[in-house]
Amino acid sequence: MEHYKLNSGNLNKLSAGVSIPKYNRENVKTGIVHVGVGGFHRAHEAMYLDQLLHDESNANWGICGVALLNFDQKIYNTLKDQDGLYTLVVKELDGTLTKRVIGSIVEYLFAPDSPKAVIDKMAHPDVKIITLTITEGGYNLNEATGGFNFDNPQIIHDSKNTDSPITIFGYLTQALKLRKEQNTAGVTILSCDNIEGNGDVTKKMLLSYIEFAQPDLLDWVKDNVSFPNSMVDRITPATIPADIAELKEVSGIEDQWPVVCESFQQWVIEDEFIAGRPNLEAVGVQFVKNVAPYEKMKLGLLNAGHSVVGILGSLMGYSTIDEAVTDPNIGTFLANYLDVEVTPILRDLEGMDLTAYKQTLINRFSNIYIKDQIDRICSETSAKMPKFILPTVQEQLKGDKAISLASFVIAAWAVYSLGFNEKKEAINIKDALQETLLAQAKLAQEYPKNFLELEEVFGNLSKSEIFSDAFAKAYQNIVSFGVEKCIIELNNNLLIEK
Ligand code: CS2
């Protein structure tokens, strides 16, 4: 089949089976700056906006992407080369592929090349919203104190080099300062990361930084910037070479970096947009007064569920989430964990059928066409653990409730951190704390509770005797009997108790 490089000039040549933007992208103005154009943003927010832009009255809501880190050079080059266009391949549960070229990213800036261009864009009067997907670990939160981590050398750099920042905090602060100086109206900063109270956390962290680095700006920011909380959801595995090849062979599109994702999509946001917002309800986004219960549910069930399956599956030698979750032992363990240790802490979810939610979640994990990589799920577990699993443990402990399954998963993570699965194959660990984790994991071989000394992950949880004992017991059991046997045992005990 004839194939074409994906770019504006070739859009109309693409095969009829692929939908393309039917609006004039040249008329689209940037109203949103998005920091962190990874797969998730491209499968989620950019997709919603693309849908919205098909109504010409929304032409003010195009996206300017910002690549903040040197690491983002590849995606930046790719999208530049493709005029911001990329293909979103939605994999339905039956394996059908729905392909759609997304056109909502109309500008893209590479911050390391031109910090000023990024600051100016964030401060531009047409920009009403700045959205973020900077990962769970990107908020510079000190887990031990719950406050801002002022010791981070990059933060110190930003406070001394205000015109050439490197962190999101430095950028936002300079942009807000410029908005104030130029008398430009306020702006909404919307976090789309998987963190409970993501808007509140963003606000707390940014205000702490501003109070330290630009105290004169603080009052203006308090009055002119809003930080809605939001819950985002769509499983978006990493793109693999076979996805690129399929698109070329079957649809004739040469796209250097398409995005693949599941068909499920959800975005729930608090309606606090100080400078206005697009009519996102028209494309299925839900606006609610208080997003907290939904976010807690999603993080506690779905994201934590991913980590549970990922960590246990990895140790047992699986490489994708569907393989691991369809192992009946892991599947039962997951269902028990969600029912016995997470469901009791969820409330205020009127109209929400939790049993159906959990079943859908397991079906989504089991989708054999998605093949979500365990390596992706387990990447940055040190940042995910305090957001996905530990809050549940803390809350269960307060009520004297069950924590043994969570403790078991955390113990499995300590074993995982040694870098080998139970088949003695090396695990491809990607974690900002990798070295520290390995050191603690080695110390845990002498005395398991040493692993919990990682304050930046566990905060003061190691002080709970109930938890640290459960952890140590689980650790010993894994070392003595192997993960699978322990899982079977835990599943059986729960069966008897139920
Ligand atoms: C995953 C998420 O990274 C992870 O650990 O749980 O990326 C998950 O796929 C998304 O939050 C789904 O909405």
Domain with 110 in it: what CATH number?
Answer: 3.40.50.720
- What average pLDDT does the segment 212-223 reach? 98
How many domains, in total, are found in the chain?
2
Classify residue 497: in a domain, yes or no: no
411 lines ligand 1 (CB under 6 A): no
For residue 498, tell me if it sits in a domain: no
> Is the separation of the CB atoms in 8 and 85 below 8 Å?
yes
**Confidence check: pLDDT of 267 > 60:** yes
Whether residue 458 sits in one domain with residue 403? yes
Q: Is residue 16 pLDDT above 90, yes or no?
A: no
Domain closes at, from 288, 316, 342: 288
Select from 235, 261, 288 the last residue of a domain: 288
Query: In whole angstroms, what is the distance from residue 364 CA to residue 283 CA?
Result: 22
CA of 116 to the centre of ligand 1 (A): 32
Cβ neighbours of residue 361 closer than 8 Å, sequence gap 6 or more:
301, 302, 305, 338
User: What mean pLDDT comes out for the span 157-186?
Assistant: 97
Query: Is the minimum distance from the CB of 214 to ligand 1 under 6 angstroms?
Result: no
Pick from 133, 193, 235 the residue to mutate for probing ligand 1's pocket: most ligand atoms within 8 Å of its CB.
Answer: 235
| Residue 348 falls inside a structural domain | yes
Percent of the chain residues topping a pLDDT of 70: 99
Examine the domain organization and report whether 320 and 282 are in the same domain.
no
**Mean per-residue pLDDT of the chain:** 96
**Residues 176, 276: one domain?**
yes
Asked if residue 190 belongs to a domain, the reply is yes
pLDDT tier at 143, thresholds 50, 70, 90: confident
Predicted pLDDT of residue 108: 98
Whether the pLDDT of residue 402 is over 60: the answer is yes
- Per the structure block, which two tokens stand in for 18? 């692929």
User: How close is the Cα of 90 to the center of ligand 1, in Å?
Assistant: 16
CA distance 8 to 21: 10
Q: What is the pLDDT of residue 351?
A: 81
Tell me which residue of 257, 186, 242, 252 sits closest to 217, measured CA to CA: 186
- C-alpha 123 to ligand 1 mean position (Å): 31
Q: Assess whether 112 and 181 both reside in one domain.
A: yes
Decide whether any atom of ligand 1 lies within 6 Å of the 377 Cβ: yes
Task: Note whether residue 66 is domain-resident.
Answer: yes
pLDDT at 350: 79
**Structural contact between residues 24 and 119, judged by C-beta atoms closer than 8 angstroms:** no
CATH number at residue 321: 1.10.1040.10
Q: Closest residue (by CA) to atom 9 of ligand 1? A: 235
Residue 407 Cβ inside 6 Å of ligand 1? The answer reads no
Residue nearest to atom 2 of ligand 1 (CA): 303
Residue 496 has pLDDT above 70, yes or no: no
Residues 164 and 191 in one domain: yes
Distance in Å, CA 232 to ligand 1 centroid: 9
How large is the average pLDDT for residues 195-210? 97
Which CA distances in Å does 285 have to 49, 206, 209, 364? Answer: 11, 26, 31, 20
316 and 255 assigned to the same domain: no
Measured by CA distance, the residue closest to atom 13 of ligand 1 is 233
> 306 CB less than 6 Å from ligand 1?
yes
Q: 299 with 243, same domain?
A: no
- The whole-angstrom separation of Cα 65 and Cα 470 is 45
How far is the C-alpha of 245 from the C-alpha of 366, rounded, in Å? 24
> What is the average pLDDT across 37-56?
98
Distance of alpha carbon 377 from alpha carbon 75, whole angstroms:
20
pLDDT above 80 for 50: yes
Please tell me the predicted confidence (pLDDT) of residue 497: 53
pLDDT in tens, 90-110: 998 899 999 999 999 999 999
Residue 327 alpha carbon to ligand 1 centre in Å: 20
Q: What is the predicted pLDDT for the residue at 145?
A: 87
Cβ(44) – ligand 1 distance below 6 Å: no
pLDDT digits (tens, 9 = 90+) for 407-445: 999 999 999 999 999 999 999 999 999 999 999 999 999
41 lines ligand 1 (CB under 6 A): no
Average pLDDT over residues 438-463: 96
Q: What is the 3-state secondary structure (H, E, C) of the chain?
A: CCCEECCHHHHHHCCCCEECCCCCHHHCCEEEEEECCCHHHHHCHHHHHHHHHCCHHHCCCEEEEEECCHHHHHHHHHHHHCCCCEEEEEECCCCCEEEEEECCEEEEEECCCCHHHHHHHHHCCCCCEEEECCCHHHHCEECCCCEECCCCHHHHHHHHCCCCCCCHHHHHHHHHHHHHHCCCCCEEEEECCCCCCHHHHHHHHHHHHHHHHCHHHHHHHHHHEECCCEEEECCCCCCCHHHHHHHHHHHCEECCCCEEEECCCEEEEECCCCCCCCCHHHHCCEEECCCHHHHHHHHHHHHHHHHHHHHHHHHCCCCEHHHHHCCHHHHHHHHHHHHHHHHHHCCCCCCCCHHHHHHHHHHHHHCCCCCCEHHHHHCCHHHHHHHHCHHHHHHHHHCCCCCHHHHHHHHHHHHHCCCECCCCCECCCCCCCHHHHHHHHHHHHHCHHHHHHCHHHHCCHHHCHHHHHHHHHHHHHHHHHCHHHHHHHHHHHHHHHC
Residues 316 and 304 in one domain: yes
- Cα of 389 from ligand 1 centre, angstroms: 13
Is residue 104 included in any domain, yes or no?
Answer: yes
Domain match, 244 and 296 both: no
Judged against a pLDDT cut of 90, whether residue 170 lies above it is answered with yes
pTM, full prediction: 0.96
167 lines ligand 1 (CB under 6 A): no
Band (pLDDT 50/70/90 cuts) for residue 203 is: very high
Q: Does one domain contain both 403 and 445? A: yes
Min mean pLDDT across 115-119, 143-147, 199-203, 399-403 is at 143-147
- Asked if the structure places residue 151 within a domain, the reply is yes
The CB of 384 under 6 Å from ligand 1? The reply is yes
Q: Whose CA is nearest to atom 10 of ligand 1?
A: 235
The pLDDT > 90 percentage for the chain reads: 95
**Judgement on whether residues 232 and 302 belong to the same structural domain of the protein:** no
Structure tokens at 125: 């009067």
Poorest-confidence range of 39-48, 163-172, 342-351? 342-351
Atom 7 in ligand 1: residue holding the nearest Cα: 235
Position 201 in a domain: yes
15 confidence band (pLDDT: 50, 70, 90):
confident
pLDDT at residue 348 greater than cutoff 90: no
Measured from the Cα of 234, ligand 1's closest atom is 13
Closest-lying ligand 1 atom to the alpha carbon of residue 136: 3
Domain boundary among 264, 288, 312: 288
Q: Closest Cα to atom 5, ligand 1: which residue?
A: 377
Sheet holding 187-191, edge to edge: 105-110, 62-67, 30-35, 129-132, 187-191, 225-226
Query: What's the 306 CA to ligand 1 centre distance in angstroms?
Result: 7
Q: Which atom of ligand 1 is nearest to the CA of 307?
A: 5
Task: Tell me the pLDDT band of 376, cut-offs 50, 70 and 90.
Answer: very high
Q: Please give the number of the atom of ligand 1 that sits closest to the Cα of 302.
A: 6
For 392, the domain range is 292-492
Domain match, 297 and 274 both:
no
